[in-house]
Copies of this chain bind each other. A is one copy, B any other.
Amino acid sequence: MSPTQEASHSPSTAVSTGTDIHTSPQEPMNGKASNGHPPKGTNGATKTNWRRRSKYRHVEAYHSKIRHSSLSREPNVTASFLGFRNLMVIVLVAMNLRLIIENFMKYGVLICIRCHDYRRQDVVLGSALFALVPFHLYVSYLIELAAARQAKNILGQKKKDGSTEANESEQRIFKNTWWISAFFHCVNTLLSLGITSFVVYFYVHHPGIGTLCELQALIVSFKICSYAFTNRDLREAMLNPSVESALPEIYSACPYPNNITLGNLVYFWLAPTLVYQPVYPRSSHIRWSFVAKRLSEFFCLAVFIWLLSAQYAAPVLRNSIDKIAVMDIASILERVMKLSTISLIIWLAGFFALFQSLLNALAEVMRFGDREFYTDWWNSSSLGVYWRSWNRPVYLFMKRHVYSPLVGRGWHPLAASTVVFALSAVLHEVLVGIPTHNFIGVAFAGMMFQLPLIIITAPLEKIQDPTGKVIGNSIFWVSFCLVGQPLGALLYFFAWQAKYGSVSRM
């Protein structure tokens, strides 16, 4: 490592070396630069001088200027933390892989295709309910058909009289018609919900079959309500044509009484919406490859959810029964946290399976154009944003047929919201409590608890600062992941176990 040796070697070969190596020119050692000063001007450009410096490789000034550490909070220091995002994903995968190995070593394989306890009665009753509920929609069609006939008669009468405005007796007839049809619609809806709920609660033991039937009954009830309310307003608009009764432009393709057909109702029944419109935006054709992709997604996610539930959620739930029974708070907390990851994954997979895969497949088959079944609820900076964006079909129903009319009547928005959430709370309790045969009120309380949370987090929506949004989003996720899903699941599971002993033979 003598300097002469180094100097004699470097000029000939250094040119072909790597990126952070300074090349030495093949010139004899002469010139008269003084020590410590770069010989400016001897060869013109500074760059050449800089290259000349490189003869003595041990003197390079690596510390040549003032610099800050990238994690210091100095001005002009901005660090990217994208790598830590990747790290988080990897750590999450690794932690869960570890839990999978741990679970396997502890329980072995818990998945068992033949181990189900469907009673024959459950399947028969469930299928019958599932098939019969849509007939309530047919009943509501008959009611609307009668009302439409009467309205047409009134309109014919008016045309004969030459008047454009309904007179007092016509108004009264219309009002009576609405009361009569509203009565029949109510009976119809209540029957639809009531029969299903009664049968499920008393005769369908299996909670899965019960939930499917109850869900179908709820959806059909929503559709009946929307069908009745919308046609009521359309009818009134037809009888009282005025500036104020102007209808959305899209409806002009099918003006009022023309929409009261069985085909139109069947489309509404099958369309992925709870809000009735005589006309919907339609896509031009069905992309069957799109349908196939969405359905295979749905199928894979369904299997995935089943595996997760059987192998991971079930043992955690079973292990937590003793702890809930003795009200050991620390242990319950530990169980809720352990359950929170798995219930979160199941929820996200279920959300994607239903709202992305299934509803998009259905919409594609029905050529239903508006696929906004959800917006980016995962970025919600408040609970209010979440409830407005995660389930658009129900949100739009509630907004159009509950919130907006109430506010239109002069209600305070908060009172109208309370009504919406109270209704939603009742329906959540119905949807969970009836199939599990336990009205413990947790789903109801959970939904009602949303209102104060929405009010508390509402100011966070308006903050422009990203930190405020992150705080709001974190509050949303914590209440959603920790308090919402796993605690509810744990309590209903405990109530079920208290009543029936064991959910399955596993």
Of residues 106 through 122 on chain A, the ones whose CB sits less than 8 Å from some CB of chain B are none
Q: Is the CB of B72 within 8 A of A360?
A: yes
Q: Are B248 and A409 in contact (CB under 8 A)?
A: no
CA distance A277 to B79 in the complex (A): 28
Q: Which residues of B contact A356 (CB under 8 A)?
A: 69, 71-72
Q: Which residues of B contact A131 (CB under 8 A)?
A: none
Given A36-B247, A281-B63, A369-B67, does the pair A378, B83 have CB atoms closer than 8 Å? yes
Name the interface residues of A243-268: CB closer than 8 Å to any CB of B. 243-256
Kindly identify which residue among B66, B243, B359, B368 contacts A283, using a CB–CB cutoff of 8 Å.
Answer: B66
Closest-CB distance, A9 to chain B (whole angstroms):
4
Q: Taking the nearest CB of chain B, how far is it from the CB of A342, in angstroms?
A: 11
Q: Quick check: A481 and B91 within 8 Å, CB to CB?
A: yes
Nearest CB on B from A391, distance (A): 13
Q: CB-nearest residue of chain B relative to A345? A: B91
Can you report 24 A-B residue pairs in the complex whose CB atoms are below 8 A from each other?
A3-B175, A9-B409, A10-B408, A13-B410, A29-B245, A36-B249, A38-B247, A42-B243, A52-B246, A55-B245, A59-B234, A60-B400, A67-B371, A68-B371, A68-B372, A69-B359, A69-B372, A69-B374, A80-B379, A83-B477, A84-B378, A88-B92, A90-B481, A94-B337
Which B residues are in CB contact (< 8 Å) with A30? Answer: 165, 242-243
Do A242 and B33 have beta carbons less than 8 Å apart?
yes
Alpha-carbon separation in the docked complex, A34 to B238 (Å): 8
**Contact between chains at B62 and A400 (CB < 8 Å):** yes
Contact A247 B59 (CB under 8 A): yes
A374 touches B55 (CB 8 A): no
**Are A57 and B105 neighbours in the complex by a CB distance under 8 Å?**
no
**Which residues of chain B are within 8 angstroms of A337 by Cβ–Cβ distance?**
94-95, 97-98, 101
